[in-house]
């Protein structure tokens, strides 16, 4: 399986001409859109659903995301506040949140009661162990906090963009991000210098 | 954006350790298959984007998916501008479009682009009328009315104009990505050729600026500064015939677009939009108006006339059926037609001369244009005030309320007026030609045979 870091690095946007063609229903242009954003969508969904998620479920949600993009693309305003990548990721986030609706945890709960990773402190000394610990900690964030954190930390959405994506107030985003980081620091304090 | 650079365990470098799978191979194929399963109405139910204008001809030429789009575009066409005579049809102020076939696209209120298949355009016109067009590839002919800044940005420079006719051709070299079909617009621009037909343009690339006027071309290649090639586009300085034909073709396409757009307007009709068939009560007003009718028309500066076949390549003045009904011999019919063709060719020559006078183009280029294209382009280039003055003068003269101008006076009048006089007099000239063969009464009977004058083609233009 090919792995992608997809951390906070500059991301390519679909060129304007292809976007215009895709909006008008051009299949080749829409394929270009999918290929431009599919890795980012998968990254968001994997981090949102966690490493324990089934690949088929992630694939289904990614497909649902792009079908949603296809349907809504004529409404996308390229002179509006959202970049196309932000807009696509917002649809992915909402799709994932909807999928998790049945087991959503209240906003006042930051961390879910999931089993922690089983690595020993010695094992955690290396980078792989830290990655596992980080993944586990992100997994245990409640969905609303996790969504805000992943969009911010891994996809470079700012507070306003996250607020639009998740349909919440900017203040709520700031609060969730602060509490998520606080919870993650607590989870990962063994790795702090 | 707030970053976590100061937070060691949550720094970007640390967060990057949490890697996740990429999209699996074939994912895009599955998405496209899923989309293909979507009922058409699913997407059609979504609000459509603001469409670019297209000509009806372009709509008819498109197929498949593009045709579906064209239906939506056609809806916007039905909301065409109803401006005054000579006004360019207003287009969408913002848009992006890839021409599926040769298409005419209105760029705001002052510009029209005739784009060849594959040409990619994006445009933005601000409230003040300043227009910025991006042409990333392909070939397009532009006609721009004066009124503010108008820029065309290409991969190898920026064309700045005020009011002019010019073409832009972007030559592309396919990249590896574009050959794989993996990236739209991935091809590399190797050269941009700007050809100026009227007026002047400024071409800028980096610190290099080139000024080109009618007849010049500017060639900008990826590996060298833009070069001016003087006197290559227009026939005004002995240009090649091919350049004249390109201009003629481009002008005809622009004129055709304007004719279609103005004809589809739903707002207040422009003067040229008043073409209509007369009612049974006033049918004769177009070829044999009474004095009272002429006085009434003069009050509203209305010029009504019939129009025989015009432009050389057309049917006989008198159809076989009309000749039979009038009892004309074949010899008389041929004689009438011969006499009229001399009238027709003289009028066509006068019209082309007016066009050359107006635009300064080579007569050979004007000769390649259809009469309709010339008429439409003259109207487009003329001030509405001049057209209104022409109607006022001509209608007053016809009603006996003002004397006709002398030849020297007429030469100082606007070209749009002189053109209207040619059009409005052609029916009478044809009748006179026929009268020379079969006499005045039979000639008038032939003219009236279709009910509204020659060919049953009745026109009126009004408004002071």
- pLDDT tens per residue across span B232-252: 443 333 333 344 445 555 555
Confidence of residue A33 (pLDDT cuts 50, 70, 90): very high
At B171, list the tokens: 């030559």
Contact A3 B1 (CB under 8 A): no
Confidence of residue B173 (pLDDT cuts 50, 70, 90): low
d(CA B23, CA B206): 41
How much is the pLDDT for A41? 94
pLDDT at B58 over 60: no
How much is the pLDDT for B163? 60
Query: What digits encode the pLDDT tens for the residues B408-427?
Result: 889 999 999 999 999 999 99
How much is the pLDDT for B259? 53
- CA dihedral (A13, A17, A18, A22) positive or negative: positive
How much is the pLDDT for B416? 93
Global pTM value: 0.37
d(CA B244, CA B240): 7
Which residues neighbour B442 within 8 Å (Cβ) at sequence distance 6 or greater? B326, B328, B434, B435
pLDDT at B20 over 70: yes
Bigger pLDDT: A166 or B259?
A: A166
Interface test with B, best of A1, A2, A25 (most B CBs within 10 A): A25
Q: Is the ipTM of this complex over 0.85?
A: no
pLDDT at A31 over 50: yes
Contact B9 A71 (CB under 8 A): no
- Residue of B22, B96, B181 lying closest to A17 (CB–CB): B96
pLDDT at B381 over 60: yes
Contacts B35 to A, Cβ<8 Å: 27, 30, 66-67, 70
Q: Which of residues 136-175 of A touch B (CB under 8 A)?
A: 138, 152-154, 156, 158-159
Tell me what percent of the residues of chain B surpass a pLDDT of 70: 69
Contact A159 B2 (CB under 8 A): yes
Collapsed DSSP state (helix, strand, coil) of residue B159: strand
Q: Which of A53-67, A167-181, B184-198, B352-366 has the lowest mean pLDDT?
A: B184-198
Interface test with B, best of A1, A20, A139, A152 (most B CBs within 10 A): A20
Contacts A55 to B, Cβ<8 Å: 21, 24
- Average pLDDT of chain B is 71
Interface test with A, best of B9, B24, B67, B75 (most A CBs within 10 A): B9
pLDDT at B39 over 60: no
Give me the mean pLDDT over the B273-301 stretch: 72
**Interchain CB contact of B9 with A (< 8 Å):** yes
Q: Which of residues 15-54 of B touch A (CB under 8 A)?
A: 15-24, 27-28, 30-32, 34-35, 38, 42-43, 46-49
- Candidates A170, A179, A172, A138; CA nearest to A44 is A138
pLDDT at B439 over 50: yes
- Residue of B20, B65, B98 lying closest to A20 (CB–CB): B98
How much is the pLDDT for B335? 92
d(CA B364, CA B368): 7
Q: Which of A149-153, A164-168, B76-80, B221-225 has the lowest mean pLDDT?
A: B76-80
pLDDT at A15 over 90: no
Contacts B2 to A, Cβ<8 Å: 152, 158-159
Confidence of residue B195 (pLDDT cuts 50, 70, 90): confident
pLDDT at B87 over 60: no
Give me the mean pLDDT over the A86-99 stretch: 88
Confidence of residue B12 (pLDDT cuts 50, 70, 90): confident
Beta bridge partners of A111: A141
Interface test with A, best of B2, B12, B13, B15 (most A CBs within 10 A): B15
Give the angle A110-A114-A119 at the CA atoms, nearest 5°: 115
d(CA B423, CA B175): 54
pLDDT at B300 over 80: yes
Bigger pLDDT: A138 or A108?
A: A138
Which residues neighbour B80 within 8 Å (Cβ) at sequence distance 6 or greater? B53, B89, B261, B262, B264, B265, B266
Q: What are phi and psi of B134, to 5 degrees?
A: -110, 120
Query: What digits encode the pLDDT tens for the residues B444-461?
Result: 988 888 677 887 677 777
How much is the pLDDT for B456? 64
Give me the mean pLDDT over the B350-362 stretch: 86
How much is the pLDDT for B281? 60
To the nearest whole Å, the CA of B83 is away from the closest chain A CA by: 29
Contact A46 B1 (CB under 8 A): no
Q: Which of A104-108, A162-166, B62-66, B365-369 has the lowest mean pLDDT?
A: B62-66
Give me the mean pLDDT over the A67-73 stretch: 89
Q: Which of residues 123-152 of B touch A (CB under 8 A)?
A: 134, 136
Contacts B46 to A, Cβ<8 Å: 71-75
pLDDT at B77 over 70: no
- Candidates A88, A29, A42; CA nearest to B181 is A29
Contacts A61 to B, Cβ<8 Å: none
Give me the mean pLDDT over the A118-129 stretch: 58
d(CA B110, CA B130): 9
Contacts A185 to B, Cβ<8 Å: 7, 9-10
How much is the pLDDT for B242? 40
Bigger pLDDT: B76 or A132?
A: A132
How much is the pLDDT for B251? 57
Confidence of residue A127 (pLDDT cuts 50, 70, 90): low
Q: What are phi and psi of B370, to 5 degrees?
A: -75, 155
- Cβ proximity of B191 and B225 under 8 Å: no
Q: Which of A51-55, A124-128, B120-124 has the lowest mean pLDDT?
A: A124-128
Query: What digits encode the pLDDT tens for the residues B209-224?
Result: 888 887 778 888 878 8
pLDDT at A39 over 80: yes
How much is the pLDDT for B81? 28
Contact A27 B9 (CB under 8 A): no
B151: DSSP letter: E
Bigger pLDDT: B139 or B56?
A: B139
Burial of A116 (0-12, 13-18, 19+ CB in 10 A): exposed
Contacts B16 to A, Cβ<8 Å: 5, 7-8
Give me the mean pLDDT over the A31-36 stretch: 92
pLDDT at B182 over 50: no
Contact A191 B94 (CB under 8 A): no
């Amino acid at each position: 399986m090919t792995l992608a870091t997809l951390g906070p690095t500059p991301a390519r946007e679909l060129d304007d001409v292809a976007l215009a063609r895709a909006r008008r229903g051009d299949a080749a242009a829409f394929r270009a859109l999918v290929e431009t954003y599919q890795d980012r969508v998968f990254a968001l969904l994997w981090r949102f659903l966690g490493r324990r998620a089934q690949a088929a479920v992630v694939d289904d949600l990614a497909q649902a995301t792009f079908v949603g993009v296809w349907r809504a693309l004529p409404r996308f305003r390229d002179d509006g506040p959202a970049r196309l990548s932000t807009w696509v990721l917002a649809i992915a986030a909402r799709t994932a949140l909807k999928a998790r609706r049945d087991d959503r945890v209240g906003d006042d709960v930051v961390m879910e009661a999931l089993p922690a990773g089983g690595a020993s402190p010695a094992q955690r000394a290396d980078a792989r162990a830290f990655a596992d610990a980080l993944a586990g900690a992100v997994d245990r964030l409640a969905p609303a906090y996790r969504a805000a954190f992943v969009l911010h930390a891994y996809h470079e959405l700012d507070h306003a963009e996250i607020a639009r994506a998740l349909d919440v107030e900017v203040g709520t985003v700031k609060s969730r991000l602060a509490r998520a980081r606080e919870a993650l620091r607590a989870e990962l304090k063994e790795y702090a210098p | 954006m707030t970053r976590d650079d100061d937070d060691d365990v949550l720094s970007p470098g640390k967060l990057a350790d949490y890697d996740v799978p990429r999209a699996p191979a074939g994912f895009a194929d599955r998405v496209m298959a899923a989309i293909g399963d979507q009922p058409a109405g699913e997407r059609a139910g979504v609000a459509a984007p603001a469409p670019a204008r297209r000509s009806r001809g372009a709509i008819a030429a498109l197929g498949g998916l593009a045709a579906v789009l064209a239906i939506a575009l056609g809806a916007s066409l039905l909301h065409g501008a109803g401006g005054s005579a000579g006004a360019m049809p207003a287009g969408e102020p913002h848009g992006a479009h890839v021409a599926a076939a040769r298409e005419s696209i209105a760029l705001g209120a002052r510009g029209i682009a005739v784009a060849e298949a594959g040409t990619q355009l994006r445009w933005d016109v601000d409230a003040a009328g300043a227009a910025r067009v991006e042409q990333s590839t392909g070939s397009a002919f532009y006609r721009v009315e004066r009124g503010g800044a108008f820029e065309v940005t290409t991969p190898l420079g920026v064309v700045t104009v005020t009011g002019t006719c010019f073409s832009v051709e972007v030559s592309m070299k396919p990249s590896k990505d574009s050959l794989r079909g993996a990236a739209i617009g991935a091809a590399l621009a190797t050269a941009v050729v700007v050809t100026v037909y009227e007026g002047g343009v400024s071409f800028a690339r980096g610190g290099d600026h080139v000024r080109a006027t009618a007849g010049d071309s500017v060639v900008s290649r990826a590996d060298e500064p833009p070069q001016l090639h003087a006197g290559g586009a227009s026939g005004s300085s002995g240009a090649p015939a091919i350049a004249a034909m390109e201009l003629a073709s481009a002008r005809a396409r622009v004129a055709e677009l304007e004719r279609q757009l103005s004809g589809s307007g739903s707002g207040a009709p422009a003067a040229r939009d008043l073409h209509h068939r007369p009612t049974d009560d006033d049918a004769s007003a177009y070829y044999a108006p009474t004095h009272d009718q002429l006085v009434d028309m003069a009050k509203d500066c209305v010029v009504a006339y019939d129009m025989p076949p015009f432009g050389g390549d057309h049917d006989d003045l008198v159809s076989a059926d009309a000749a039979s009904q009038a009892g004309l011999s074949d010899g008389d019919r041929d004689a009438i037609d011969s006499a009229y063709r001399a009238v027709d060719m003289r009028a066509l020559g006068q019209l082309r001369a007016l066009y050359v006078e107006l635009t300064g183009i080579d007569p050979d280029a004007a000769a390649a244009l259809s009469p309709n294209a010339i008429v439409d382009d003259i109207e487009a280039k003329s001030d509405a005030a001049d057209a209104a003055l022409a109607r006022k003068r001509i209608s007053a003269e016809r009603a006996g309320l003002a004397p006709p101008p002398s030849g020297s006076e007429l030469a100082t009048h606007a070209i749009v007026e002189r053109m209207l006089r040619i059009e409005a007099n052609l029916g009478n000239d044809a009748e006179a030609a026929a009268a020379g063969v079969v006499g005045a009464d039979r000639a008038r009977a032939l003219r009236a045979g279709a009910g509204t004058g020659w060919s049953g083609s009745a026109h009126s233009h009004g408004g002071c």
